[in-house]
Amino acid sequence: MIKLYGNPYSRANRVRWTLEEAGVPYQEENTELGPEGTRSARFLKINPNGHIPVIDDDGFMLYESVPICLYVARKHSPDGLHVKAVQDEARLLQWSVWAMTELEKHIETASLHVTWLPAAARSADKAASEQAEVKRCLGILGEAIKADGHLVAGRFTAADLIVTEVLTNLVHSGVNLGEFPEVNRYVQRHLSRPAAKKAFAGDILKPFLA
């Protein structure tokens, strides 16, 4: 059985969702951030970077959320979350990397200056510039899914899962997904999946499914 080190308010959400979609038995060890959790001597032996998620698949240890998702998809859901054609696999990797290096990066920075930083440390200009970048990314995504509602192979794959999970963090960024109806429908459709409802805490789903 796969062991997942994570918690309900971390990037472990995308791994948990992948495991649920793939129907893989797993157990999760709730791992908090900080000296008693991710920075403890015990955990640093599991991931020397001191971050979650990590999986232990019968002794095979893997960290970084996107590689974990793609590993689980390929091993346990090759005809569902993963793909067969080499071109489709390239697109799967493209969108998974894009979700981290473009979309998530700007959502995180906007969220810092809108929500998470102390008021004195926030920059309205930085928030506005990062929100503009988030909207640019949402425009790109909207164009990519316009044809059939998916990113790869005309069906729900790990790419859609990873991108959708990243988008759940929009609620902290000050960007209104309602400005992008195609993307809004995309997110609602995917978060309505039974596996998503099992994977996420209710307060994360509520803003999108209420």
Token pair 């390929």: residue = 74
Using one digit for the tens of pLDDT, what is the confidence trace for 24-42?
Answer: 999 999 999 999 999 999 9
Domain assignment present for residue 149? The answer is: yes
Using one digit for the tens of pLDDT, what is the confidence trace for 153-208?
Answer: 999 999 999 999 999 999 999 999 999 999 999 999 999 999 999 999 999 999 99
Q: What is the CATH number of the domain that holds 118?
A: 1.20.1050.10
69 and 166 co-located in one domain: no
Residue finishing a domain among 38, 56, 76: 76
**How far, in Å, CA of 55 to CA of 42, rounded?**
15
Distances in Å between the Cα of 158 and the Cα atoms of 51, 131, 153 are: 22, 26, 11
Pairing type for strands 2-6 and 26-30 reads parallel
53 and 91 co-located in one domain: no
60 and 138 co-located in one domain: no
Domain assignment present for residue 174? The answer is: yes
Token pair 């951030």: residue = 33
90 and 192 co-located in one domain: yes
Residue finishing a domain among 34, 49, 76: 76
Tokens, residue 128 = 């506005």
What's the chain's length in residues?
210
4: helix, coil or strand? Answer: strand
Instruction: Print the domain residue range for 101.
Output: 86-197
72 and 108 co-located in one domain: no
Predicted local confidence at residue 200, as pLDDT? 98
Predicted local confidence at residue 161, as pLDDT? 98
Residue 12: pLDDT band by 50, 70, 90 thresholds? very high
Residue 30: CB atoms within 10 A of its CB come to: 12
125 and 171 co-located in one domain: yes
Strand partners, 63: 54
101 and 192 co-located in one domain: yes
Predicted local confidence at residue 22, as pLDDT? 98
69 and 91 co-located in one domain: no
Domain assignment present for residue 205? The answer is: no
Residue 210: pLDDT band by 50, 70, 90 thresholds? confident
Residue finishing a domain among 47, 76, 105: 76
69 and 120 co-located in one domain: no
Token pair 């894009």: residue = 98
Using one digit for the tens of pLDDT, what is the confidence trace for 47-101?
Answer: 999 999 999 999 999 999 999 999 999 999 999 999 999 999 999 999 999 999 9
Spatial CA neighbour of 68 closest among 86, 56, 80: 56
User: 112: Cβ–Cβ under 8 A, 6 or more apart, which residues?
Assistant: 122
Domain assignment present for residue 172? The answer is: yes
